[in-house]
């Protein structure tokens, strides 16, 4: 594992679930962590619990100006951003295409797709100048398989995999590492919303079928090391037993 201590990690969607776990795991490895999400109280409470190495910045990833301001605040506080974790995401409203609300459908694209682009756009100039950086983006099995009533989610996750490839093509030579992570199903608020929908096989899964967000956080830490370089421009699946072994989960 490369040393992450003293590095600065900017995590979107850090108010709960995978993002919160990632913030705690990276802080536990002595990195500075920047928690970005819309829920001000939640990110402030988590940052206060972590201590001085954590900064909470209220930010809606759907709005580029807010993302740029949050990255500037991270740079003011810690000198730059070494790792971006594009984690913010949403799945509601789950709805069939023929009856879906076009505005609500588009909002998911604003968060899950444009939000990822906004993060990449905001950190890439600084990483280019530094000659190094990692951009890790949370993908999903839904990027590869259509799931009933998830057209917005499937389309957005497929598209962010292409953004990872684009960053890799344009910026690997500048020292920027871009990798996606498909975590499998994870025990978070998002799975509670999926269960409540009762639509498609994912909603029928038992809670014990999901992995913990701490596993995903440990994988993200591992992805910052050279050991993950084989996947630059590609996607790692945490369902893969070999990956679980390499990360030290089994
Ligand atoms: P979660 O518990 O619902 O957390 C979602 C996070 O995203 C929250 O912190 C939320 O914060 C943030 N967020 C949503 N909209 C945002 C916006 N406009 N701006 C900034 N932050 C926003 O879900 P999770 O499972 O941890 O999801 C994290 C990522 O993993 C998502 O990209 C999701 O698609 C992906 N994923 C999850 C699973 C799973 O089974 N759970 C599987 C595959 C992939 P605020 O509401 O405070 O803004």
Return d(Cα 246, Cα 250) in angstroms, integer.
8
Instruction: State whether residue 203 is helix, strand or coil.
Output: helix
Which domains are present in the chain? Answer: 8-247 (3.40.50.720)
Q: Per this entry, what is the length of the chain?
A: 250
Q: Report pLDDT digits (tens) over 82-127.
A: 999 999 999 999 999 999 999 999 999 999 999 999 999 999 999 9
The C-alpha torsion from 41 through 43 and 45 to 48, rounded to 10°, is -140
Q: Which residues of the chain have pLDDT under 50?
A: none
Atom of ligand 1 nearest to the CA of 185: 40
pTM greater than the 0.85 cutoff: yes
Beta bridge partners of 12: 36
Provide CB contacts within 8 A for 125, sequence distance 6+: none
Active site (catalytic) residues: 153
| Predicted pLDDT at 54 | 98
Beta bridge partners of 236: 181
| Predicted pLDDT at 1 | 52
Which of 190, 219, 220, 238 is the pocket-test mutation for ligand 1 (most atoms within 8 Å of CB)?
A: 190
Instruction: Return the HEC string of 6-49.
Output: CCEEEEECCCCHHHHHHHHHHHHCCCEEEEEECCHHHHHHHHHH
| Predicted pLDDT at 78 | 98
Sheet with strand 133-138: strands edge to edge:
54-58, 32-37, 8-12, 83-86, 133-138, 176-182, 235-237
Is residue 35 within 8 A of residue 82, CB to CB? The reply is: no
């Amino acid at each position: 594992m490369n040393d992450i201590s003293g590095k600065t990690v900017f995590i979107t969607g850090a108010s709960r679930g995978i993002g919160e776990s990632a913030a705690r795991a990276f802080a536990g490895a002595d990195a500075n962590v920047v928690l970005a999400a819309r829920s001000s109280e939640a990110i402030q409470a988590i940052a206060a619990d972590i201590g001085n190495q954590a900064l909470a910045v209220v930010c809606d990833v759907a709005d580029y100006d807010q993302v740029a301001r949050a990255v500037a605040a991270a740079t003011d506080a810690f000198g730059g951003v070494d790792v971006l974790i594009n984690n913010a995401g949403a799945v509601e409203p789950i709805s069939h295409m023929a009856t879906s609300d076009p505005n609500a459908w588009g909002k998911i694209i604003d968060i899950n797709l444009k939000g990822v682009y906004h993060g990449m756009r905001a950190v890439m100039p600084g990483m280019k100048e530094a000659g190094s950086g990692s951009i890790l983006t949370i993908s999903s099995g839904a990027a590869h398989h259509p799931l009933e009533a998830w057209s917005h989610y499937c389309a957005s996750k497929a598209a962010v995999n292409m953004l990872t490839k684009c960053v890799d093509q344009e910026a690997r030579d500048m020292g920027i590492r871009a990798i996606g992570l498909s975590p499998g199903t994870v025990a978070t608020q998002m799975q509670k919303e999926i269960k409540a929908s009762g639509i498609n096989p994912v909603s029928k899964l038992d809670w014990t079928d999901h992995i913990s967000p701490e596993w995903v956080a440990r994988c993200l830490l591992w992805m910052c090391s050279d050991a993950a370089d084989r996947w630059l421009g590609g996607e790692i699946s945490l369902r893969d037993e070999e990956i679980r072994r390499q990360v030290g989960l089994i």
